[in-house]
Structure 1
């Protein structure tokens, strides 16, 4: 397995991105908007191409790091999932938790965003397991 492989990284990124689209666009759209304190006007005022493009690039960076770790350790499939979920539970979620505490963000926003990271990383891990089999 190469340290960097374009197709698995793109597929893992796409899986995470699709989870985000469903999470924030269908499942938790209104609760997230309320918890974030954003009006419809504020949401429409953003440069959506730039926002989605940068979100995809950030998620791709996450996929590249996870794929690199998998390439270096060559773990069994269940360990791939443990690494993906562990990355969310041990790094990503605590990081946003620290930021949200100091920003005085509501618990509801934290739970919605934390859930997105957890499910997104599980999807990415599942894609990586599939590519490695």
Structure 2
């Protein structure tokens, strides 16, 4: 069983940009985020958008690969045998025959993604924001984006079998 489903990882990476286009739209949280971040329209429009979106996609791709490890339990069994199933004992094949598709659903992946957002992204963003002297609104807007995005990413990489 191949756990690195590259089409799913690519779609999950693109989903981060799609969620961002919606989340940070001025009609959703865009204006509130700009105010909380201390950004102006000129600053937002003055950035090198090609560079920003290219790097954002690369970072999202890395996160999607990580969500594969965080949301698919069978990757733990694969890691126990050193990552090469061709050299595994017959017990590995029997285990995978019994449990290879267990918890491989969009719902389960979304749950792990939301947990990753709450227990990984929120503390990181919150800590950085505290030292940057940003307020709670800034923390919750950005953390909310990552909780939703990682939930979507987890759903895609775990459920796309």
Q: TM-score, normalised by structure 1?
A: 0.89
- Structure 2, gaps ≥5 residues long: 77-99
Q: Which residue of 2 aligns with 1:2?
A: 2
Task: Please identify, of 22-31 and 107-116, the stretch whose mean Cα deviation from structure 2 is larger.
Answer: 22-31
- C-alpha separation in 1, matches of 2:148 and 2:108: 16
Larger helix fraction of residues: 1
Q: Deviations over 1:80-117 (max 9, x none)?
A: 23221111111111111111111111111111101100
Structure ranking higher on relative contact order (CA contacts 8 Å, 6+ apart): 1
- Match for residue 94 of structure 1 among 104, 114, 123: 123
- Match for residue 103 of structure 1 among 122, 127, 132: 132
Q: How many correspondences in the alignment?
A: 132
- Structure 1, gaps ≥5 residues long: none
User: Structure 1 residue 27: deviation in Å?
Assistant: 1.3
Query: Is contact 2:109–2:159 with CA below 8 Å preserved after alignment?
Result: no
Query: Is contact 2:108–2:158 with CA below 8 Å preserved after alignment?
Result: no
Query: Is contact 2:36–2:137 with CA below 8 Å preserved after alignment?
Result: yes
Q: Which residue of 2 aligns with 1:36?
A: 37
Give the aligned CA root-mean-square deviation in angstroms: 1.7
- Structure 1 position 113 matched with structure 2 position 157: no
- C-alpha separation in 2, matches of 1:46 and 1:16: 19
Question: Following TM superposition, where does structure 1 have runs of at least 4 consecutive aligned residues deviating by more than 4 angstroms?
Answer: none
Q: Which residue of 1 aligns with 2:96?
A: none
- C-alpha separation in 2, matches of 1:49 and 1:127: 26
Q: Which residue of 1 aligns with 2:21?
A: 21
Task: Please identify, of 95-104 and 21-30, the stretch whose mean Cα deviation from structure 2 is larger.
Answer: 21-30
User: Structure 1 residue 15: deviation in Å?
Assistant: 1.5
- C-alpha separation in 2, matches of 1:122 and 1:65: 13
Q: Which residue of 2 aligns with 1:11?
A: 11
Q: Which residue of 2 aligns with 1:131?
A: 160
- C-alpha separation in 2, matches of 1:106 and 1:56: 27
Structure showing greater radius of gyration is 2
Query: Is contact 1:4–1:68 with CA below 8 Å preserved after alignment?
Result: no
